[in-house]
Structure 1
């Protein structure tokens, strides 16, 4: 189920009631919208979210919005969740009742905060943020019954930033996973957040396991964004992660695919997409665009993976795909828009 909250067509005089009512019925924690911001001509708040296991993933577009999570809201409805948020655009100011505020945020910044601690966030410049509201139970085995977790701002230059964001994006990208798969992904993300919070993985076996998984996710996302480079290799990936070749191979040990095989799988999947989606591009052009600098190697790898040569695949599968799309269109079937990462 997709939850949507949008104030675009709500008159200023009705915004308070609209937001109070709809937030009350949503998985979001109880929050207070500043009256001053609600009356602002540039005010805009749009949440679109969905459940991922027992967590809630949202995309928030906010401008001239001030949200406060104060003691009355916390007492009335404790959230019991830790918020992880990745800022894509704009900025926001985060202040706390119990410590100094964060410096001005910039796109790319990653925030970890406990929603049962008093705080205020003010969004400006048409901020766009992806948020994950994760149950505190994922963190409790490591932090115990502490009243609340210390907030952390993780920035691109920080050591664990890449691993944390890779785990976050992997969670956001999941669509209709099994309960077991959703729980595993959220567990890895929570553990990466705990490491960014200062826990040493060498002192916790569970964190050590999640660190290995986080490295694999980071490596896969790096491969997926550099698949077109024929020089891409295990050495290049390991250097990007800042780990040894041995550590990189260990990260893939449980997947049934080594680094080279996974790279080839990603390249072939991209090639299949191009063959179907870009009929004007030649097979040679597709091969080069997917990081294959040898056409015969591309033909051999593609045939092994899909049971036919690239040209035959394009002639056979493209018409079938077109007919299926036409039937779905006539039947009125449409996918929900993807939740961006």
Structure 2
């Protein structure tokens, strides 16, 4: 399944543009970047915007942060794109937004979510000069097969918590660590569909299948990604990993054992691999600096672990 990553930011625009020129240039690029909707800039602050997205086949993960007051999808975009997907969007800003979709007007509080249909227009505004949101696009056929009467949930506020929030947290984490998608794109797409369907109310056998395929697997991948991001912290512990993942320490340890190694073994392996890579090109860096940079706070322990893992001392490994 093809994976495409996109980044768009006002920092990428030519220097010397005035604010109106910046917005017009960005709006033109945004139409090619997404063509999901249109933005109206905030009148009282300089225009700034940053977006990134990951496309896994027909599934898309996206995040947007910028100084604009409204987001809207016009009939023009509906006709031009012929997009038959649902969009699950989370308000990650600090203000409640007023949303209009499918003839309904409702409030979307910070942290809450909404399910939109991209084959119909929508409008969102909150009166603030800065908006942030995360969204996931999923094929309609997929969600309709998993969730009965899913269209009844479109165009209304969905409260935070449970599998829906986990799906959005997972998306945010992947957008920050996009390399993981290259290795497991198909599985990630399936896990997101499972999580969203659970959060939207999948029942019976479909819910059990989604529970097995999505929830635990996503939590395991999330735990591994957090560990791989923070393993160089000298005081990083299983307790801190559990807190970062929003899980119990016991559950985190179970997930790590399922993935093939305990917390301590995996942490030590990550640190040693990084140390080996640094030593191969360390130049004049001291062994102690390499050890501490990789999260070890005891040089003797580092030397013992390194020799046991690689069969030679850190000094002998330098430049190899």
Give the alignment's TM-score, normalised by structure 2.
0.68
Does residue 67 of structure 1 match 2:84? no
Closer, same or farther: CA 299–132 of 1 in aligned 2, 3 Å: farther
In the aligned structure 2, how far is the partner of 1:294 from the partner of 1:199?
50
Residue number among 105, 108, 122 corresponding to 1:102 in the alignment: 108
Name the Cα RMSD after superposition: 4.5
Residue number among 217, 222, 227 corresponding to 2:221 in the alignment: 217
Confirm or deny: 8 A CA contact 1:83 1:113 kept in the other structure.
Answer: yes
Name the SS for the 1:256 alignment partner.
coil
| 1:1-341 map, 5 Å | 3=6, 9=17, 12=20, 19=27, 25-29=32-36, 31-34=37-40, 37=41, 42-70=46-74, 73-74=77-78, 77-84=81-88, 93-97=97-101, 98-103=104-109, 105=110, 109=111, 111-116=113-118, 118-122=121-125, 124-144=128-148, 146-147=150-151, 149-150=153-154, 158=161, 163-172=166-175, 173-175=177-179, 181-199=184-202, 203-224=207-228, 227=231, 228-230=233-235, 232-233=237-238, 237=241, 241-243=246-248, 245=250, 247-252=251-256, 254-272=258-276, 282-284=286-288, 286-288=290-292, 290-306=294-310, 308-313=312-317, 315-316=318-319
1:281 to partner: Cα distance: 6.6
Deviations 1:202-251 (A, max 9, x none): 94223222111122123224434653355724x66557644473x44553
Gaps of 5+ in 1: 318-341
Confirm or deny: 8 A CA contact 2:61 2:135 kept in the other structure.
Answer: yes
In the aligned structure 2, how far is the partner of 1:304 from the partner of 1:50?
40
Name the SS for the 2:179 alignment partner.
coil
Name the SS for the 1:121 alignment partner.
strand
Aligned length: 303
Deviations 1:5-38 (A, max 9, x none): 567648748967984x655544442x2445xx48
Compare 10-19 and 236-245 and name the one that shifted more: 10-19
Deviations 1:91-124 (A, max 9, x none): 5724134252112x3xxx4745324354322374
Deviations 1:135-169 (A, max 9, x none): 334433322564364455565xx455874355224
1:299 to partner: Cα distance: 2.4
Closer, same or farther: CA 22–209 of 1 in aligned 2, 3 Å: same
Confirm or deny: 8 A CA contact 2:35 2:81 kept in the other structure.
Answer: no
In the aligned structure 2, how far is the partner of 1:153 from the partner of 1:170?
21
In the aligned structure 2, how far is the partner of 1:146 from the partner of 1:277?
55
Gaps of 5+ in 2: none
Name the SS for the 2:108 alignment partner.
coil
Name the SS for the 2:220 alignment partner.
helix
Confirm or deny: 8 A CA contact 2:272 2:294 kept in the other structure.
Answer: yes
Name the SS for the 1:182 alignment partner.
helix
Name the SS for the 1:51 alignment partner.
strand
